[in-house]
Amino acid sequence: MKKNQKYSSIEDLPEASVASVPTLEQKTGSWRVYRPKINKEKCIKCFICWRCCPDISIEIDEEGFPKINYDYCKGCGICSHECPNEAINMEREEK
């Protein structure tokens, strides 16, 4: 396979490249090394974290703040990286 090969549709991808089951059907949080922690005092409720989470593991709590569903969060850190107010810190997972 060529590096940076372009595909015209998802059907053109090699079968091994596509997850067979959506993340919401598989709890994946058990192998996380770092977990995101939201600081509500710094959070401005812009929901950029919610929009950029590749695992759809950010929900909205009863106060309107983003809330991490740790059953599905893989700890990738994208939410922390994209947060414009630095309200999400990645903390080492305690086992």
Let me know if residue 1 belongs to a domain.
no
Q: What is the pLDDT of residue 1?
A: 45
Whole-angstrom distance between the N-terminal and C-terminal Cα of the chain?
A: 39
Let me know if residue 86 belongs to a domain.
yes
Q: What is the pLDDT of residue 17?
A: 47
Going residue by residue through the chain, which has 95 residues, state the pLDDT in tens, using 9 for 90 and above.
455 566 666 666 565 544 555 555 677 767 789 999 999 999 999 999 999 998 889 999 999 999 999 999 999 999 999 999 999 999 998 86
CATH number of the domain that 75 lies in? 3.30.70.20
* Tally of domains in the chain: 1
Which are the contacts of 64, defined by CB distance < 8 A and separation ≥ 6? 45
Let me know if residue 47 belongs to a domain.
yes
Let me know if residue 3 belongs to a domain.
no
Which range of residues forms the domain containing residue 46? 25-92
β-bridge pairing 66-68 and 34-38: unpaired
Let me know if residue 18 belongs to a domain.
no
Let me know if residue 14 belongs to a domain.
no
